[in-house]
Structure 1
Amino acid sequence: MRNLVFLFLILCNCNVSAQPLPQRIASAYKKFASDQQLAFGTASLTVLNASTGEVIFTENGNTGLASASTLKTITAATAYHLLGKDFTWETTLGYTGAISGVGTLNGDIIIKGSGDPSLGSDRYDQTKSETILKRWVDAVSRAGIKRLTGRIIADDRLFGTQTMPGGWTWQDMGNYYGAGPSTLTWRENQFDLIFRPGIVGQPAALLRTEPDMSYLKIVNEVTSGKAGTGDNVYVYSAPYSNVVYLRGTYGVDLKKAISASVPDPATDLAQTLKNRLKAVGISAGTIITARELVADKLTFQPDTKILDTHTSPTLEKIVYWFNQKSINLYGEHLVKTIAWKQGKEVTTPEGVSVIKDFWNKKLGIDKNAMNIYDGSGLSPANRITTMSMAQILQSLKKEPWFQLYYESIPVYNNMRVKSGSIGDVIAYAGYQTSANGTPLVFSIMMNNYSGSSSAARQKLFNVLDVLK
């Protein structure tokens, strides 16, 4: 009898394995879509043959859903197309006026940005803040400047004054993942908060910030949470404000820094440079941004002498970390840079419009299938179809830079897949080769699910495992 049961199980397994891939996907998706966690939600899945573009399976493929960070795959692909893998940004340090015989600069020092998202970032050797600051201090010293009578001006005009894309929420924008793009982004526009928890329910002490942000007024309302509750700290601040509120709980057994966004990165950069010059004995005047000068209807002379030009890593290296670590800030820089380089007004809406126009012309994707508001997927207002996302990903296979793009997609669930999650939204998009050697590209999204996110994620994985 045991032998008969064993033979029966083998035959059942063989029958399942022998089923055509579309049938197996359909069966797995049907079970997933009928789960109680989606009783009041919506899901969609599209699977294409990555070589031919043939539709292997689609359900709700033309229904627009919130995509979360899987939208980054489209932003990155568009950047590769329109900017090129070798595109770089430049930041210059220069001065106006003349230097006297005793080393007094009767003029301004100007830091001029072009939207480099990596300036001061620790992700690349040549962009680390200490490396940049040393270069700039050395350049000022070599020029013979010992004293500055004018200002340190951070020229942050290129990206305009609106740093936050439409649809970003108040709960997000003060936190590190909600840092908005700046013409002079610096250290990825974030800083760390170091806490010491106390008795449960009592205040958690803010010990310091790293780096020092003493020019900000930080109001700490964080309390100590129970053991095992972890990080439930939220940072609230508005662009260009100098007041930051900290709310929520910090677990009594937690030992980690909490990262917040910098309200005015250009001011922070100018202040940091001033402090560094002062540390080596070079006195500087006041600091100010071009945004403030324009607001006050003041003008300033362009720099007449360039002291240093810093070139960013190439686009392919930016996109690698953009997708690997899902850096929202990088996506918003790419969108504004796309608008700039296409001769449009340098705003997020113009950049988004260029993206939609590009894919409409290239693949015939209806613009209404890409109802998007940013380049990172952080806005909960974004809506995109799994069919359009899968079609875009499939079209990249023939591009000469595809391997670079492919390697930027993380390996997750033993698949090459970009993940995404925001409130009640989980999504995945990527590439997989099936057991019979068929190359696949897929996009799957679930919106407004209920219950545990970890349980919902595992159910999504159960569907995607069928593609292996």
Structure 2
Amino acid sequence: MSSASPSSGRHRKPKPMSLAVRRAFIVAAVPVTGALLSAPSALAADKSVKTTGTTRSVAAEGLDPAEQRIADQLNARSQDPDLGTTFSGIVLDSASDKVVWEHNAGTALMPASNAKLATATAALTILGPEHRFTTKVVYGHGTLTLIGGGDRMLTTADLTELAKSAAAGVKLAGLDSVKVRIDDSLFAEPALAPGWNGSYYDDQVSPVRSLVVDGKLSADTSIDAGKVFAQQLADQGVTVDGEVTRGTASATDVPVGQHLSPRLSETVKKMLKESNNDIAETLLRMTALGAGKPATFEGGTQVVRDVLSQRYGVSMANFELYDGSGLSRADRVPAQTIADILDLLTDPRYRGLLRSIDEGLPVAGEAGSSLGPEWGRFDTPDSACAVGRVKAKTGTLTGAIALSGLTRAEDGRWKVFSFVENGSTADPAAIKDTVDGLAATVNGCPA
């Protein structure tokens, strides 16, 4: 991927174009063979699919030759049987917001991890890219309390430094033993989000708590962090009495140490590169707190909706979000909305604020990211030519595959795309290969 940013050299209009104005550009419809969505949705057992408009693929008037090739090829490739009968997609020209191509772009489908784009946008907007989360240690009445502050990047090495500081204070006070407890009261009690399967815990995500170390999945990340802290204290020559317990620090407790997380921008980049569910759910709660809302699924998702609609003018039509990670099978987001969120990255007004989303998007073929070769992405004849030239957020759930991002097309202009598939019975690897091919088509790879 070229290091040049999507906004380089662009002369963008003063205000984002509304969806209604975008639609006004669409004047020619090209029917797709086979009636998409004509069969009952495979998602009916989860939640009914909401849709706007008619079932069709369209291309806008006034396309340049490169854009016309994109539209023509997507009209053909979107009929691939691997995509099933419930597919939504859109391609925008970032400079003009012209719709280059769309297919059921207003249909709300399970976005899977594409939902993390909404979470990241709200977190950066409310908290700011430079924001850091604080983990504290306080002392009172013979007890050291480790207080969680929502730092998902906290490591054993960080707790070691906190333990050294706390141990020095304990010894200075003439003590040689203490009790240890954790305070994770910053967040409400962990709960399953609507649409989460119970099996997600300790597999896809941990119960959401404000204290965790080394990003480990476990039933109680706070107690686990407390145990690591207690061990580090012991290594410093301080005896820990009894087991690590849970409690709430007193206002009269004395501060003995604190650790600041990396900047939020770094946390966001890690979340997107790895598609980290735990980081997403923690950021959802910290964003809620930053906006004065309860640190719950409901509080966080309300702030996401408010930020997207009120700050950026993104339509909330058919938008239903119940968590921060996209694990919820009740989540429904149109491809149009996902593209509109990504389109913010190309707007100079928001470039500084949202830069880490752009930088955090996995790049096709980037090892260690969710688009890396270890995941079998962009490794077919239809997509390998786009390695290093497409950056996009992946999304994968049982019955849902999504890929949304940006690429510089043959005409040298940045295109924003979103492709979301739900309910296909094809092999997931084959679906991903097909979706990767769609993204490569937008880039301008040979047919």
**Shorter-chain TM-score range:** 0.7 to 0.9
SS at match of 1:151: strand
User: CA offsets per residue over residues 259-312 of structure 1, 9 Å max, x none?
Assistant: xx211111112222223323443212234544xx5xxxxx76345321111000
Contact 1:110 1:153 in 2 (8 A): yes
Counterpart of 2:151? 116
- How many Å apart are 1:110 and its aligned residue? 0.9
Q: 1:300 to 1:407 in 2, by over 3 A?
A: closer
Contact 1:156 1:289 in 2 (8 A): no
User: CA offsets per residue over residues 408-445 of structure 1, 9 Å max, x none?
Assistant: 11101421111111112111111111111121111111
Q: 1:403 to 1:383 in 2, by over 3 A?
A: same
Contact 2:112 2:326 in 1 (8 A): yes
User: CA offsets per residue over residues 166-225 of structure 1, 9 Å max, x none?
Assistant: 3221222221x322321112221x2xxxxxxxxxxxxxxxxxxxxxxxxxxxxxxxxxxx
User: CA offsets per residue over residues 222-266 of structure 1, 9 Å max, x none?
Assistant: xxxxxxxxxxxxxxxxxxxxxxxxxxxxxxxxxxxxxxx211111
Counterpart of 2:351? 400
**1:74 partnered with 2:99:** no
For structure 2, the residue ranges without an aligned partner over 5 or more in a row are: 1-62, 365-377, 379-386
- How many Å apart are 1:152 and its aligned residue? 1.1
SS at match of 1:178: coil
Counterpart of 1:308? 257
- How many Å apart are 1:150 and its aligned residue? 5.4
SS at match of 1:152: strand
- How many Å apart are 1:364 and its aligned residue? 3.7
Mapping for residues 87-236 of structure 1, pairs under 5 Å: 87-97=131-141, 107-120=142-155, 129-144=156-171, 147=175, 151-175=179-203, 177-188=204-215, 190=216
Distance 1:325 1:350 in 2: 25
Q: 1:303 to 1:267 in 2, by over 3 A?
A: farther
Distance 1:462 1:131 in 2: 43
Distance 1:336 1:300 in 2: 20
Q: What is the RMSD computed on CA atoms of the aligned residues?
A: 2.2
- How many Å apart are 1:53 and its aligned residue? 1.7
SS at match of 2:116: helix
| Higher radius of gyration, 1 or 2 | 1
Q: 1:313 to 1:303 in 2, by over 3 A?
A: farther
TM-score by length of structure 1 reads 0.71
Q: Which amino acid aligns with 1:409?
A: L
- How many Å apart are 1:24 and its aligned residue? 3.0
Distance 1:270 1:362 in 2: 39
Equivalent in 72, 81, 84 of residue 36 of structure 1:
81
SS at match of 1:370: coil
Q: 1:187 to 1:164 in 2, by over 3 A?
A: farther
Distance 2:333 2:245 in 1: 37
SS at match of 1:371: coil
SS at match of 2:239: coil
Distance 1:271 1:405 in 2: 34
Equivalent in 426, 429, 434 of residue 451 of structure 1:
426
Mapping for residues 334-345 of structure 1, pairs under 5 Å: 334-345=283-294
SS at match of 1:390: helix
Distance 2:245 2:320 in 1: 34
Counterpart of 2:107? 63
Distance 1:132 1:300 in 2: 18
- How many Å apart are 1:138 and its aligned residue? 4.3
* Percent identity of equivalent pairs: 25
Counterpart of 1:466? 441
Q: 1:400 to 1:29 in 2, by over 3 A?
A: closer
Q: 1:152 to 1:458 in 2, by over 3 A?
A: same
Distance 2:312 2:162 in 1: 45
Q: 1:344 to 1:138 in 2, by over 3 A?
A: closer
Distance 1:363 1:130 in 2: 39
For structure 1, the residue ranges without an aligned partner over 5 or more in a row are: 1-17, 98-106, 121-128, 191-260, 294-298
Mapping for residues 321-400 of structure 1, pairs under 5 Å: 321-397=270-346, 398=348, 399-400=350-351
Q: Which amino acid aligns with 1:284?
A: V
Distance 1:50 1:419 in 2: 20
TM-score by length of structure 2 reads 0.74
Q: 1:289 to 1:344 in 2, by over 3 A?
A: farther
Q: 1:274 to 1:19 in 2, by over 3 A?
A: closer
Of 157-166 and 24-33, the range deviating more from structure 2: 24-33
Q: 1:263 to 1:45 in 2, by over 3 A?
A: same
Q: Which amino acid aligns with 1:431?
A: L
- How many Å apart are 1:459 and its aligned residue? 1.6
- How many Å apart are 1:357 and its aligned residue? 1.6
Counterpart of 2:406? 431
**1:409 partnered with 2:437:** no
Distance 2:128 2:165 in 1: 33
User: CA offsets per residue over residues 28-62 of structure 1, 9 Å max, x none?
Assistant: 333334333344x3111111111222222111111
